[in-house]
Each structure stands twice: as structure tokens, then as C-alpha cells.
Chains A and B, each alone.
Chain A
């Protein structure tokens, strides 16, 4: 019953028992933070506070403090929004889609990937909020009559679809994550010796005791949530792309946007998972759980989705030419050769060219190279959104209103602030939460653990 084909490499290395998994997962929570944690945390906190200052300044003074002008009415704010939402997608993909496909390698990375999802969607949700200008009017997006009079929200608008998609995505991701966390919190609770810590984990674990019926329901709930989250995650970036695709701006008005955005989201999300997990496995010595094989698998996903994104870029160019619409043709010519050529070619280099290195096994199993590419991919994906948004807008139908966009310190400050906020949340998570779904991982120890696989092999040889 614990059989797995010998050709599959072990997913848990080292001579682990169930108790070893417990100890390895709980170690960061029970030990005190190393100096390096405090240094990185302080840096992230400073960036976050700087961002808070810039946000408060924006709210106080208005979005006139940003670099927006009459022609470029959307720029960094929406770029950052789409970028952060896209990053979030990988977490759901790992925990939901790979669960449905019964990919066991998801188990040691899904907890952190989902945490990344939640923290990056928080960053994303900030941007439409502050871009409203008058954030105290944010309730206008809820289906209640505006000004409590008679006018309702417009269900025909993709921007409203976005409100429903992002809030459903965020809240469903949170419960999916939390349901999985409950048994692991219970494990920390049962080990805790300090009264305060024990009390906190008692609250967090909801009193979970691991009764047989409860595990049966737990597995069913996980499966159904995965089934719900899979179309949900695809719908979210589809709807985000419709913010652009349903408009009539050349460069935005394309039917390729939904699949192209979803592929790009997975691409950037996996890159961010790599960035985070390469650090986590090193700092918390979890190399035996997050193995080279895990990193290689994710690199293959990056290579595949990067190629899909590349095909989408080329398709866009072809269709612009083939459509015969001169505005569309100009929009793409302007992207590649206009004043923003450097953004376009950065995007092409980072997103289409760089993941092709992953065809080489030596490179995709190299930690340093993977880390480097993961950063490059995230820079590239930020440029992709910038290119789509700003270069489509900055030269509109009326040449007299053509302009350029340059960010102010507030634009930059808010973006850096969200990166800081993201890392503040992730660093706090890494010290207080079980970073590996240990209960789930224990179920595959006997089939995919190194020692058990060796045992299995010996038995097989004995039979012959």
C-alpha cells in the first residue's frame, strides 16, 4: 500500500521518521530568531513603513502626487496590482491543481506557496483601493445602492467582476490554507511548554484532535476546496485581463489576453516561489524536504509557462499585423521600437529568452542559477505589465496628447512599500507557522521517503 515505483526519486531525503518530521518542522517556531532574520526583518519593516508613509501622503493629497497625466491614467499602480495578483497564482496552482493531479511533490512546498499567495494578494488589493483616490468611498464597489440612494453597482463592468474575483480568491485561499494549518497548529500546541505559546496555538488549532471521522472530512474538504480553487484561480487572472481586453484601446483589445495572463501569472508565481523557498530551505536547513528535485520540477514549470508567454507575445505581434488595423499595428510597432523600446526588450529578454536555459539539466538543478533566473523572471514580468499598460496608453489616437510617464517618489515608495510589507508578512509567517504541511507530508513518508524506498528496493530484490 505504500508502494511507489523505484524510478521515482525520493521526495524526503535523509533517514526520517514521523517524529523527525515533527522536529524539523517545529524547529523554527521553537527556537529563537537568528540575527540574519532580524536584519532582513528590519529592512523589510523600514521599506513597509516608507510605503505606509507614501500611501498616507497619497490619500491626504490625492493621486496627483503620482506621475499620472491626462494620457497615461493608469501606470505603476495597476502594473503593481497585476504583478502581485499574478505572483499569487502559483500558490493556488501548487496546492490545488497539483493536488487534483496527485502530484506528491507539492506537499513540502504548498504551505509556503499558499502563504505567498495570500500575502501577495494583500499587496495587490492595496492598489485599486488607493487608486480610488477617495478610499472612504470604497464601499461603492459593494452591491449596495451608491450613496444609499437608488443606483446599484454595474455588474456589466470587468472592474466589478474583479472585485468579486479578488475577494473570492483571497478569502477562499485563506480558508484553504487555514484548514490545512489546523492539524499542524495542533502539533505545535501539543509540544508547547511555555503557557503563552501553548495558549496561542490552542486558539489557532481550534482544538483539533485528529479523530478518524475528522480526518475523513478533512481529506474530503481539501479535495473539494482544490476542485473549487482550480477554476477559481484561472478565473481570477482571466477577469484581471478583461479589465484591459474589454476596452477598445489598441494593444489591450485582444482575445488572447485571458490565457496569456494566466500563463504569465503562473510563470511569475513559480519564480517567486523559487526565490522564497531557496532562502527558506537554506535558512531553516530544510534541504531534505525541499530537495533539488522540487526545484527542478518548478524550473520545468517556469520553462514551460515562459515558453507559452513567448508564444503569446509572438501571436500578439502576428495578429496585430494580420488584423490590418493600423492603430493595432502601430501600438505594437511603438512597443518594440518606440520610446519604451527598452521596457519591451527587457520583457522579451527576461521572460522569453532567460527561461530557455532551463532546458539544460545542469542549469535547472543549480541552486544559484535558479535563484538568479527567478529574480530575472520577476523583473521581466513586472516589465510585461508595464509594457502592456503604459506603452498602450502613452501614444493614443491624438498625437498632440502623446506623452511619457515618469514615476514620482510616491509611485516608487508605494511599490517598495508593498515589497517590504510582503516580506514582513512572510518573515513573521516563517517564524510562527509550520512552514511545511507536516501532517500531509507524513502520509507520503513510507512511499516517498529515502529510507523506506531503499527498504522497498531490498524487498523487491529479495523476491527475485
Chain B
């Protein structure tokens, strides 16, 4: 994401409200926030950062439809086409007549597909997997600290003093090669 000659400034906060106010101030100045790391979901942070709404719920709906389709084709293929069975006099000539008995299967597979595929999407989009290197540069951000990474577009010194003013407890130029 970041080009090689870009300078990133790290600002560490110890309070979510101060962080949120800081994010708003930095954005008002027209500066680009590269990332914010927080120990818990800070309410309103995504809006303050200008992040788009996630579409993962729409994906889950699609996966649910896929599960429903799977259940319908499975019951139809196995119990109507391939080997119709007369069980307890339940009509098995057409799928429609037999459908009430298939509702539990249809429901369960809808939920199964929606839940699992959504979670896989969540892992895939976040690029998180077992054994993945910790994505947060500062280990304190899973405890009680909040880290904002700002892209410096002009005077780095000025940016650093601005971040200090917003209430950051530590401000430093990021030398790490992550991102």
C-alpha cells in the first residue's frame, strides 16, 4: 500500500475517546490515516475514518441462498429422481408434495452454508490464518492502547506536533517495513 518514500507517523493513545477525537482532527486537516489498531471495536471509528460499510452480510445472504439451493437439489435428486421411497405414506411423486418433510434440511443447510462461508470470507478478506504473523506493530494495542498510523504528506515535524496536541501519549516516525 505505502510507497517506499512515504513517511508514516505513529501516534499512540491510551483512551478511545481521545483517539476518536484525534482521528477526526487528522481527517479534517485532510491527512490520510493509513490504519488504526485498537484492542476492541471503537464505536464510530469506521465512520470517523471514512471506511466504507462492510458487505459481508450481503455475502452471507448469498451463501444462504446457495445452501438452500443445495438442499433443494439434494432432496430432489436423491429422493424424487433417483430413488423415490414411500415412507409413512408421505407423497413422493413430486418434490412439491414431499417438500414439507424437507423443510428442516433446507433450513439447516441454509444456516450451515451462510455461517461457515461467511466466516471463511471473514478470514480470507482480513488475511488472517493459523500461524499468521501478528498484524499489529505494537503489542500494547491488544491490551489498552490505540495506535494511529498517519501518512505524512508534507512537514513531518508539524504533523508530529499536531498529533501530540490531539492527546497522543507517544508520537514517532515509523521505520518498520510492514504495511
Task: Judge whether B130 and A206 touch: CB under 8 Å.
Answer: yes
Closest CB in chain A relative to B149 CB, distance in Å = 10
Binary A-proximity of B103-136 (CB < 8 A = 1, otherwise 0)? 0110111011011101100110111111111111
Task: Judge whether B134 and A172 touch: CB under 8 Å.
Answer: no
In angstroms, Cα B107 to Cα A430, docked, is 34
Binary B-proximity of A208-238 (CB < 8 A = 1, otherwise 0)? 1111111111111101110011011001000
In angstroms, Cα B142 to Cα A206, docked, is 14
Complex interface: chain A residues within 8 A of B42 (CB)? 212, 215
With A161-B105, A172-B115, A202-B131 already in contact, the answer to whether A187 and B142 are too (CB < 8 A) is yes
Residues B148-170 near A (CB distance < 8 A)? none
Task: Judge whether A168 and B54 touch: CB under 8 Å.
Answer: no
Task: Judge whether A206 and B129 touch: CB under 8 Å.
Answer: yes
Size bracket of the B interface:
35 or more
B49, B119, B129: most-surrounded residue (chain A CB, <10 A): B119
* CB of A143 closer than 8 Å to a CB of B: yes
* CB of A440 closer than 8 Å to a CB of B: yes
In angstroms, Cα B39 to Cα A251, docked, is 54
Closest CB in chain B relative to A291 CB, distance in Å = 20
Task: Judge whether A18 and B144 touch: CB under 8 Å.
Answer: yes
Task: Judge whether A190 and B115 touch: CB under 8 Å.
Answer: no
Task: Judge whether A208 and B128 touch: CB under 8 Å.
Answer: yes
Complex interface: chain B residues within 8 A of A160 (CB)? 105
Task: Judge whether A235 and B107 touch: CB under 8 Å.
Answer: yes
Task: Judge whether A171 and B130 touch: CB under 8 Å.
Answer: no
Task: Judge whether A156 and B37 touch: CB under 8 Å.
Answer: no
In angstroms, Cα B88 to Cα A172, docked, is 32
Complex interface: chain A residues within 8 A of B25 (CB)? none
Closest CB in chain A relative to B87 CB, distance in Å = 5
In angstroms, Cα B128 to Cα A155, docked, is 37
Complex interface: chain A residues within 8 A of B123 (CB)? 206
Task: Judge whether B133 and A217 touch: CB under 8 Å.
Answer: no
With A210-B142, A213-B51, A443-B43 already in contact, the answer to whether A239 and B104 are too (CB < 8 A) is yes
Q: Which of A128-136, A175-183, A302-310, A370-378 contacts B (4 or more CB under 8 A)?
A: A175-183
* CB of A37 closer than 8 Å to a CB of B: no
Write the chain B residue with the least CB distance to A223: B57
* CB of A17 closer than 8 Å to a CB of B: yes
Residues B40-61 near A (CB distance < 8 A)? 40-46, 49, 51, 53-54, 56-57, 60
Write the chain B residue with the least CB distance to A160: B105
Closest CB in chain A relative to B95 CB, distance in Å = 11
Q: What is the size, in residues, of chain A's interface with B at 8 Å between Cβ atoms? A: 69
Task: Judge whether B41 and A443 touch: CB under 8 Å.
Answer: yes
* CB of B78 closer than 8 Å to a CB of A: yes
Partner of A152, one of B83, B104, B116: B83
With A17-B144, A207-B132 already in contact, the answer to whether A221 and B56 are too (CB < 8 A) is yes
Closest CB in chain A relative to B160 CB, distance in Å = 21
With A207-B129, A207-B134, A221-B56 already in contact, the answer to whether A155 and B105 are too (CB < 8 A) is yes
* CB of B68 closer than 8 Å to a CB of A: no
Closest CB in chain B relative to A382 CB, distance in Å = 26
Task: Judge whether B133 and A164 touch: CB under 8 Å.
Answer: no
In angstroms, Cα B142 to Cα A190, docked, is 7
Residues A7-42 near B (CB distance < 8 A)? 17-19, 22
Complex interface: chain B residues within 8 A of A164 (CB)? 104-105, 108-109, 112
Write the chain A residue with the least CB distance to B16: A446
Closest CB in chain B relative to A171 CB, distance in Å = 7
Task: Judge whether A165 and B143 touch: CB under 8 Å.
Answer: no
Closest CB in chain A relative to B24 CB, distance in Å = 13
* CB of B102 closer than 8 Å to a CB of A: yes
Write the chain A residue with the least CB distance to B137: A209
Complex interface: chain A residues within 8 A of B46 (CB)? 212-213, 215-216
With A155-B78, A216-B54, A228-B115 already in contact, the answer to whether A161 and B104 are too (CB < 8 A) is yes
Extra A-B contacts (14), CB below 8 Å, given A160-B105, A183-B40, A443-B40: A18-B143, A151-B83, A156-B88, A161-B104, A186-B136, A204-B130, A207-B127, A207-B128, A210-B135, A213-B51, A213-B54, A215-B45, A219-B41, A439-B41
25 interchain pairs, CB-CB under 8 A:
A1-B17, A152-B79, A154-B85, A155-B101, A155-B102, A156-B101, A160-B105, A161-B105, A168-B109, A171-B116, A182-B128, A190-B140, A204-B130, A209-B142, A210-B39, A211-B136, A215-B42, A224-B114, A225-B115, A231-B111, A235-B107, A439-B40, A439-B41, A443-B43, A446-B16
Listed in ascending order, the chain A residues whose CB lies under 8 Å from chain B are 1-2, 17-19, 22, 143, 150-158, 160-161, 164-165, 167-168, 171-172, 175-176, 179, 182-183, 186-187, 189-191, 202-221, 223-225, 228-229, 231-232, 235, 239, 242, 439-440, 442-443, 446
Among all A-B residue pairs, the 5 with the closest Cβ atoms: A209-B135, A207-B132, A209-B136, A18-B144, A190-B139
